[in-house]
């Protein structure tokens, strides 16, 4: 079993992260890109649902242990490769020629929460899991591109609160702020609602992709023009 795999339910691709906490490292980013490319290649698919097979976690974000090991080994190129490859994942989701629905089945922390914001729509179960940006406590600043696309998903006042406090947010609060479409009672309802919503989409890929390209043009420009400065300098942590 890989780190990410997908199955098909009629016109919907169900893209599942399968590595427990689903920590993001270079292998994860490569696996995610491979699966996204396979989904696009199947022209009968008109929507994608992104979720996790774990009972507790959607995605816990960056694999900090992997990152620290690379730093200690002075393997800086692998770190840069990871950051650029994850940006490829985010950019692909932002421009994907079909709707991408995040079915948040558990904890979505850091890069995991950011990953869900790169999707077009979100559902979350209400009986388990928190949504959180812990970067303020970890000393990890957002890349400029991350700030730009999180703002498309989260109202400014809420993003301001959650980013600077690092507090954990529940599905009902996310629903009140309209970050998610629905706070579902449990995992079963989450998948039922997410897939049913995905199946309502039968839009032409050309127009859907072009609309997203124009809508997110400013985000892509920020990612391409501003993010490399921080990646090349490996400006990943801010010490006390």
Q: Write down the pLDDT at residue 99.
A: 97
Q: 49, 13 in Cβ contact below 8 A?
A: yes
Give just the sign of the alpha carbon dihedral 204, 207, 210, 211. negative
Q: Write down the pLDDT at residue 238.
A: 67
Helix (H) or strand (E) holding 123: strand 121-125
Residue with tokens 């270079």: 26
Note the Cα 61 to chain centre separation in Å.
9
What SS3 state is found at 193?
helix
Task: For the chain, give every domain's residue range.
Answer: 4-198
Report strand pairing: 47-52 vs 100-104.
Answer: parallel
| Extended beta strands in 11-87, E state | 12-17, 47-52, 57-59
What six digits make up the tokens of 51?
């979720």
Q: Write down the pLDDT at residue 197.
A: 98
| Residue 28: CB atoms within 10 Å | 25
Q: Tell me the whole-structure pTM to 2 decimals.
A: 0.94
Q: Write down the pLDDT at residue 240.
A: 64
Per-residue pLDDT of the chain (240 residues), as tens digits, is 689 999 999 999 999 999 999 999 999 999 999 999 999 999 999 999 999 999 999 999 999 999 999 999 999 999 999 999 999 999 999 999 999 999 999 999 999 999 999 999 999 999 999 999 999 988 889 999 999 999 999 999 999 999 999 999 999 999 999 999 999 999 999 999 999 999 999 999 999 999 999 999 999 999 999 999 999 988 777 666
| Residue 200: CB atoms within 10 Å | 10
Q: How far apart are the first and last CA of the chain?
A: 40
Q: 92, 41 in Cβ contact below 8 A?
A: no
CATH topology for the 4-198 domain: 2-enoyl-CoA Hydratase; Chain A, domain 1 (3.90.226)
Q: Write down the pLDDT at residue 1.
A: 64
Q: 114, 131 in Cβ contact below 8 A?
A: no
């Amino acid at each position: 079993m890989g780190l990410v795999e997908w199955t098909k339910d009629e016109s919907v691709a169900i893209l599942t992260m399968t590595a427990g906490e689903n920590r993001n490292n270079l292998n994860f980013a490569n696996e995610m890109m491979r699966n996204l490319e396979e989904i696009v290649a199947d022209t009968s698919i008109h929507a994608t649902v992104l979720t996790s097979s774990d009972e507790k976690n959607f995605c816990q974000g960056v694999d900090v242990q992997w990152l620290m090991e690379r730093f200690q080994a002075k393997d800086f190129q692998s770190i840069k490769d990871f950051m650029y490859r994850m940006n490829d994942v985010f950019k692909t989701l932002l421009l994907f020629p079909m709707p991408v629905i995040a079915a948040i089945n558990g904890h979505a922390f850091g890069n995991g929460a950011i990953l869900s914001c790169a999707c077009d729509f979100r559902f979350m179960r209400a009986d388990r899991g928190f949504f959180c940006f812990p970067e303020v406590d970890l000393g990890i600043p957002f890349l400029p591109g991350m700030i730009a696309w999180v703002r498309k998903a989260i109202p400014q006042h809420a993003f301001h609160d959650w980013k600077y406090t690092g507090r954990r947010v529940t599905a009902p609060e996310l629903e009140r702020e309209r970050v998610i479409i629905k706070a579902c009672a449990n995992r079963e309802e989450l998948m039922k609602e997410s897939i049913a919503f995905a199946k309502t989409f039968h839009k032409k890929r050309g127009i859907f992709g072009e609309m997203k390209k124009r809508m997110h043009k400013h985000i892509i420009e920020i990612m391409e023009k501003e993010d490399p400065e921080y990646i090349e300098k490996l400006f990943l942590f801010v010490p006390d």
